[in-house]
Structure 1
Amino acid sequence: MAELDVQPKKKNPWWIWLIIAAVIIALILLVRGCDKAADGSENSRDSTETGDTTASITGAATLSDWDNVDFNASETSYDEVTDKSISVRGNANYAIYGLGENILFSVGDTSIQASAESQLKQISASLNKRFKGASLAVYGSTDSTGGAKMNKEIGESRANAVKHWLVENAGIAESTISVHSRGQSSPVASNATPEGRQMNRRVDIVARIQK
């Protein structure tokens, strides 16, 4: 009987399998990384396209323009503004109409009270007469009671309420009005007294004078 020459099967070295497994894992991680990058790009584009525009700066004037407003400008007067609770200040670049928070809002509220409409009507009539089509900014300010973050939010909420009133009741284009919150950062009086704190709780409507 002829002898059968049977050779034992050669086994592949173990390290080859290790390399193959490493390559497969690397490919899986690469595919997942590409998918995440694509998702991140989509999310970034979506947030840019649908992001919140309240803030802030939606007027035609630039941010630097509104950073340079001199709130200590000299007092002035306009014939059409007769209500003594409205302060009017200005210079060659800006006109500033100011109203106390106690006139515009109930304590702790951010909705404009009905009794403030006569003052807002006078301001809007003056804006439409003297600064029609100009860039406007609404600034909300608070006293120092409470935290700085909370006061910043209150100032913005109240400035937004005045902006919406101007858009809905005065025929002023929303695209021309920007909203800013000064919070407690720029007091006009001492926060050590109730009278001073009341003076610091206010909203200013600023018109940029066109040249």
Structure 2
Amino acid sequence: MADLDVQPKKGRPGWLWIVLALIGIALLFFLLRGCNDNDNVNTTDPANTTDTTAATTTSTRTRDWNAIDFNAPTATYSEVSDKDIEVRGNEEYAIYSLDEALLFDTGKSEIKSSAEAKLKQISASVSQRYKDGEVRVYGHTDTQGSADTNQELAEKRAESVKNWLTNNTDLSDDNISVHPVGESQPVASNETAAGRQQNRRVEIVAIKNN
């Protein structure tokens, strides 16, 4: 009988198992990473998000100063007894107007000592009627001189009034702004001395804090 040459089956090379094991580990790693990413998509409390948004968007009312009617009817306030102070307005705001000659020397921006009593009377009225409201100082000039010079003078005078009010009354600097108008809003003709005098003025506007 012929001898049968029976050879034992060769086993799979060891390196193949190593490759398969590495592939399996890689697949397991990516599966686990995907699960973690899904778990961490959004852990923010919706209620906290709403509160934060509300806090961010909450702001104080922005005043529409363009809505002020400077031709508003004359108002009579018992606390304003000085005849040099003209008051106009309504229940929402008041316009206190002073001839610039009462506040400043010609071409100057320093407050006269004789004007301090008038400014104190205005500030007392503002504090009484518009407590914690906003105040804006408007500076006006006539058309004598260049427009740039008049604008600069109007700004210096408005700033001077603001600084005086801040330093000498209980009105807060944070609530006072300035608006130098210059010669652009006359209330009378600049062709006459009387008209030019009317145009040279300072107006202190106080508005309620609604």
Please say whether Structure 1 and Structure 2 have the same fold, judged by a TM-score greater than 0.5: yes
- 2:152 match: 153
Is the contact between residue 95 and residue 209 of structure 1 (CA under 8 Å) also seen in structure 2?
no
Verify: 1:130 aligned to 2:154, yes or no.
no
Q: What is the deviation of 1:203?
A: 0.5
Q: Output one character per residue of 1:160-180: Cα deviation in whole Å (capped at 9) or x when no partner.
A: 000001100012110101100
* Alpha-carbon spacing, 1:110–1:61, altered in 2? closer, same or farther (3 Å): farther
Q: Secondary structure at the match of 2:181?
A: strand
Shift of residue 210 of structure 1?
3.0
Give yes or no for the alignment of 1:112 onto 2:116: no
- Post-superposition Cα deviations, 1:130-150, rounded to whole Å, max 9, x if no partner, equal 111101100000001111111
> Contact (CA 8 Å) 2:93, 2:207: kept in 1 or not?
yes
In the alignment, what sits opposite 1:93?
92
Identity of aligned residues (%): 52
TM-aligned CA distance change 1:61 to 1:89, over 3 Å: farther
> Is residue 142–residue 183 contact of structure 2 (8 Å, CA) maintained in 1?
yes
Give the alignment of 1:1-211 within 5 angstroms. Answer: 62=62, 65-211=64-210
- Report the Cα distance in structure 1 between the residues aligned to 2:66 and 2:153, rounded to whole angstroms: 20
Task: Name the larger-Rg structure.
Answer: 2
Give a deviation string over 1:49-68, Cα, whole Å, max 9, x none.
xxxxxxxxxxx764x61222
CA offsets 1:181-207 (integer angstroms, 9 cap, x no match): 111011111111111101111110001
Moved over 2 A (4+): none
Please state how far the C-alpha of 1:117 moved relative to its aligned partner: 0.7
Deviations 1:69-93 (A, max 9, x none): 2111111110010111100000243
- The secondary structure found in structure 1 opposite 2:116 is helix
Separation (CA, whole Å) in 2 of partners of 1:150 and 1:66:
25
2:64 aligns to what SS in structure 1?
A: helix
**SS at structure 2 position matched to 1:152:** helix
In structure 2, C-alpha distance between the alignment counterparts of 1:61 and 1:140, rounded to whole Å = 24
Partner Cα separation in structure 2 for residue 152 and residue 66 of structure 1: 19
Does the 8 Å contact 2:138/2:180 carry over to 1? yes
Q: TM-score, normalised by structure 2?
A: 0.69
Task: Give the AA of the match of 2:194.
Answer: E
Where 1:110 maps in the other structure, the secondary structure is coil
- The 8 Å contact of residues 76 and 88 in structure 1, kept in 2 or not, is answered as yes
